Structure 1
């Protein structure tokens, strides 16, 4: 996410980062990629709730998931953190606000 974000993508990233569990997920993935069951145990939340948070982060382009098959044949979903930077100041917000779609202006 090195390029300048438009208004809609900035809103999506800020929304994704506005939850304490999602910040904790980023902290876990900052160390190393993880599979869902391990993350759920580490964070002390259910896998269905974790998947909801992972989906939000993935839609914002902050993480990426992929399926792998373990040695014993189990399908495992791993997630990793994608490189991103969210510079933010009044000028960036003003510029990004010009590209917010009409459905977001309400």
Structure 2
């Protein structure tokens, strides 16, 4: 949720986003990849004036409705459910 909250304010490149959240870039990339696959964020590679590549992410418009049925279905679909 912190990733979404920060991207709701402005688009950010991965290094800046990782710094603000206090998360390693590899772990952040994992979360951003999942958010991108789900259609919540979009990433775009851009070159700085110095020629360095930065991947910027921005939040895409979405509406999320969570109901009891949604939660029950998600848990039923989780293959790790019940594993301790």
Q: TM-score range by the shorter chain?
A: 0.7 to 0.9
Q: Which runs of 5+ in 2 are unaligned?
A: 80-84
Deviating above 2 A after TM superposition, structure 1's stretches of 4 or more consecutive aligned residues are 87-90
State the TM-score, normalizing by the size of structure 1: 0.63
**Rounded Cα–Cα distance in structure 1 between residues aligned with 2:2 and 2:66:** 21
Deviation at 1:86, TM superposition (A): 1.2
Unaligned 5+ residue runs, structure 1? 1-22, 98-103
Deviations 1:54-82 (A, max 9, x none): 01111111000000000000000000000
The count of aligned residue pairs is 75
What do you get for the CA RMSD once the two structures are aligned?
1.9
| Larger relative contact order, structure 1 or 2 (CA cutoff 8 Å, min sep 6) | 1
- Normalising by structure 2, we get a TM-score of 0.79
